[in-house]
A and B are shown apart, each in its own frame.
Chain A
Amino acid sequence: MRQDQFILGVIVSNHFGVLTRVSGLFSRRGYNIDSLNVSETEDPKFSRMTILVTGDDYIKNQVVKQLSKLRDVKRVELLPADSTVLREHMLIKLDTKGHSVTEVTEAANIFRAKVIDFNADSVTIEMTGESSKLDAFINYAKTFGIIEMCRAGALAVKRGPGALNGEYFED
């Protein structure tokens, strides 16, 4: 069956062990997490997870239903790719030895990224955007040499005024 990436918005209780329950569910049922982000919401009782998963319709269906069964999971929703704002965040340190620094800063400007650390041999850049934009920059940065990088899991909210409604995925 066709494999697609899908985006899950999940509201969970904000206490210890919840991340283990969620990630454990994925590993024991054999679903792959592409990325997972979790942090407290405006209400400290709850955290919000954004999970990107690749799978077919069967996995999509099961992930939502199995997550919904966890006591600590309060709401689960599949966020439609075409009406969801999705952002990733990245810190990337480039080797600038033998290159002009302006080359890097110009590239950063074109990608609307920020230089946040700078010295004779390296530049560290902070960047936010859709996954494809980050991928493109990483690709470009390889011409300099990437010393190290870290990339946060995607964050996603639906466009428009609505919040997660947590309906079960319909059969």
Chain B
Amino acid sequence: MLLTGAEIIIETLIEQGCDTVFGYPGGFVLNIYDELYKNSDRINHIITAHEQGAAHAADGYARASGKVGVVIATSGPGVTNLVTGIATAFLDSTPIVAITGNVPLSMLGRDSFQEVDSTGITMPITKHNYIVKDVKDLANIIREAFVVAKSGRPGPVLVDVPKDIQLAKCEFEPSEMLEAEPKRTVSDNFLSKCADMINASKRPYIYCGGGAIAADASEEIKALSLKLNAPIGLSIMGLSAIPQDFPNWLGMMGMHGRYSSTKANYEADLIIALGVRFSDRATGDKSKFKRDSRIIHIDIDPAELNKNIDSCISAAGDIKNAVARLLNLVEEKDRTEWIDRIKEIKAEEQQQIAARENGRLTPQKVIAELQKHTDKDTIVVTDVGQHQMWTAQSYKFYKPRTLLTSGGLGTMGFGMGAAIGGCIARGRKRTVLFTGDGSFGMNLTELATAVSQNLPLTIVIMNNGVLGMVRQWQTLFFGKRYSNTTLERKTDFVRLAEAFGATGIRVSESGDLETAMKKAFDTDGTVVIDCKIDMDENVYPMIPAGGTIEDIIVN
């Protein structure tokens, strides 16, 4: 059948399994929006307040569902507003497809109104990008974009469609939904070498990251941990891969990781790294990270092997498949000494946590009180900063894909968009966002989206009136010179929530917490809880950048 480019975009999106898109209209996507209007019974479009919010929403949707998230934006500022969202998805390996309009082909390169070099700008932050110059290529490019986004190590793809391509007609042949490209698998020889190292190890430590979630490998990794009696430490991206009540769970490792997780990692004689990229936030001083321990590294992306940390042996391949096969090769061992040592470390950690306890309204109390109202499936989103680390340290995650956080790029302002996307991906079930007054300030306009969509979002602002994470560094490393981190804003978040049509609740003391939280969860729609946190509440433990476990600050 003969279709216009705009019609082809809608048909291929639907054909590739997309039923929800996030976006913002504009001059050079008018034709696409006209088709969205006509096809609103087949494809749902969520309009955000800003293109950045739409990009984060598509990202959050993808993280929560495992499907490809789709965002549409117009040319020029539409594209540049997507950039932070696309880069966030790129650093955290989230599959999204961004479809952008552009000026007609004949106007390209003339600095036309709302023209930017969309593919040029997004080249280093996408897995691949395309500009469509012939309508006959359009359908296959969009199909390929979906395949690229979800294959191997997932990531963002951008398709730039000039206006005349949206208008041009060509014959359209429907296709089926294309699967991701088959994943490479590691060799038997490699696995048998792994098994030898594992069997010889007295203190193995499994370290897994976002790749474990992308590969859906949680069950296999848990089975491996039980068979080996090896504790599991996690990167922030892998945090929801292993339920926190799993016996060998140690939680997040690294700069603000749990003491037990980081300490055990340093004491291990073998690190089995699965779907991680050894980010500097996790490793600290790379030259000392390895010490005497040996490292096995498996990741879907060959370029990650020996990129940040040299491993003893490494291979690129699907983790789920690799660990399932490895399970048959390793010996079941008690490793009592190691397990006892882990218990000791955990006891030390409990003492440190108890020593930090005070009568104040602490973030940990807020998180614990909130958790009484959520279930194991609840999606928890964070922004970036202290509240993000507090959430990663003390919220109890039970199921993969329940934590949506900007781990790699560290994007303040990620939370609102991602919470909207995550909430919609999970059938509009109640979704929690932990944010700070700094991060929330960046994209709080998306409250408008949440309210107009009547989304059940519970937004907890850890409001300390300062840019807490930067302030913490200023406290510890810059002689308490608080350059531009004391905000002194007069924003009333309760009234702000009400102005947007949401419910606002304020919590100033820990005594108010229980009632306030109950009220929040008894309220429908979008609720903002403004929690007054002391500005000197720091994130502990902390290993200063480039440090080791020797440098850990626990209180």
Binding site for B on A (CB under 8 A): 17, 20-21, 24-25, 28, 58, 61-62, 65-66, 68-72, 168, 171
Contacts of A69 in B (CB 8 A): 127, 301, 303
Residues of A within 8 A of B128 (CB): 70-72
Contact A28/B306 with A69-B301, A71-B148, A171-B314 known, Cβ cut-off 8 Å: no
- Provide the residues of chain A in CB contact with B120, threshold 8 Å: 20
- Given A71-B128, A71-B148, also A171-B123 (CB < 8 A): no
CB distance from B294 to the nearest CB of A (A): 15
9 cross-chain pairs, A with B, having the tightest CB-CB distances, nearest first:
A65-B303, A71-B128, A65-B302, A28-B124, A66-B303, A171-B314, A171-B305, A24-B123, A69-B303
CB-CB < 8 A to B123: which residues of A?
Answer: 17, 20-21, 24
Does B371 touch A at the CB level, under 8 Å? no
> Knowing that A65-B305, A171-B315 are A-B contacts, what are 16 other residue pairs whose CB atoms are under 8 Å apart, sorted by A's residue number?
A17-B123, A17-B131, A20-B120, A20-B123, A24-B124, A25-B124, A62-B303, A69-B127, A69-B301, A69-B303, A71-B127, A71-B128, A71-B148, A72-B128, A168-B302, A171-B314
Question: Cβ of A17 and Cβ of B306 under 8 Å apart?
Answer: no
Query: Count the A-B residue pairs with Cβ separation under 8 angstroms: how many?
Result: 34
The residue on A at minimum CB distance from B310 is A58
Q: Which of B98-121 contact A (CB under 8 A)?
A: 119-120
The verdict on B372 contacting chain A, using a C-beta distance below 8 Å, is no
The residues of A that contact B489 with a CB separation of less than 8 Å are none
| A21 CA to B128 CA, complexed, in Å | 9
Contacts of A58 in B (CB 8 A): 306
Residues of A within 8 A of B315 (CB): 171
CB of A168, distance to nearest CB on chain B (Å) = 6
B307 within 8 A of A: yes
Residue of A nearest to B126 (CB): A71
Closest Cβ–Cβ distance, residue A26 to chain B (whole Å): 11
* Bound Cα distance from A123 to B341, whole angstroms: 80
**C-alpha gap A20/B124 in the complex (Å):** 10
Report the count of interface residues on B (CB-CB < 8 A).
17
* Chain B interface (Cβ < 8 Å from any Cβ of A): 119-120, 123-124, 127-128, 131, 148, 301-303, 305-307, 313-315
Distance to closest chain B CB from A91 (angstroms)? 31
Q: For residue A61, which residue of chain B has the nearest CB?
A: B306
Closest to A27 in B: B124
Measured CB to CB, the closest approach of chain A to B90, in angstroms, equals 12
Question: How close is A75's CB to chain B, nearest CB, in angstroms?
Answer: 15
Q: Which residue of A lies closest to B119 (CB)?
A: A17
18 A-B pairs whose Cβ atoms sit less than 8 Å apart in the complex: A17-B123, A20-B120, A20-B123, A21-B123, A24-B124, A58-B306, A62-B303, A65-B302, A65-B303, A65-B305, A68-B303, A69-B303, A70-B128, A71-B148, A72-B128, A171-B305, A171-B306, A171-B313
Considering the chains assembled together, what is the distance between the CA atoms of A66 and B307 in angstroms?
A: 10
Chain B residues within 8 Å of A171, by CB:
305-306, 313-315
Interface centre among A20, A25, A171, by most B CB within 10 Å? A171
Chain A residues, Cβ within 8 Å of B314: 171
Question: Given the complex, which residues of B lie within 8 Å of A28, measured CB to CB?
Answer: 124
Residues of B within 8 A of A62 (CB): 303, 307
Give the CA-CA distance A66 to B302 in the complex, in Å: 9
Select from chain B the residue with minimum beta-carbon distance to A168.
Answer: B302
Chain A: minimal CB distance from B116 (Å): 15
In angstroms, Cα B306 to Cα A61, docked, is 9
- The answer for the CA separation of A70 and B306 in the assembled complex, in Å, is 19
Expressed in whole angstroms, the minimum distance between the Cβ of A76 and any Cβ of chain B is: 12
Q: How far is the CB of A151 from the nearest CB of chain B, in Å?
A: 28
With most chain B CB atoms within 10 A of its CB, the pick from A24, A28, A71, A168 is A71
Residues in B neighbouring A25, C-beta threshold 8 A:
124
B128, B131, B301, most chain A CB atoms within 10 A: B128
B127 engages A68 (CB within 8 Å)? no
B194 vs chain A, min Cβ distance (A): 14
Chain B: minimal CB distance from A18 (Å): 11
Instruction: Report the minimal beta-carbon distance from B118 to chain A, rounded to whole angstroms.
Output: 12
Which chain B residues lie closer than 8 Å to A21 at the CB level? 123
Chain B nearest CB from A69 CB (Å) reads 6
Most chain A CB within a 10 A radius of its CB, from B124, B301, B314: B124
A71 to B148, CA, bound (A): 9
Which residues of chain B are near A17, meaning CB under 8 Å? 119, 123, 131
- Which residues does chain A contribute within 8 Å of B302, judged by CB atoms? 65, 68, 168
Q: A45 to chain B: closest CB distance in Å? A: 15
Task: Tell me the bound Cα distance from A168 to B305 in angstroms.
Answer: 12
Which residues from chain B contact A24 at a C-beta distance below 8 Å? 123-124
* Bound: A168/B303 CA distance, A: 10
Q: Which single residue of chain B is at the shortest CB-CB distance from A72?
A: B128
CA distance A14 to B142 in the complex (A): 20
A58–B309 Cα distance when bound, in Å, is: 11
Considering the chains assembled together, what is the distance between the CA atoms of A20 and B123 in angstroms?
Answer: 9
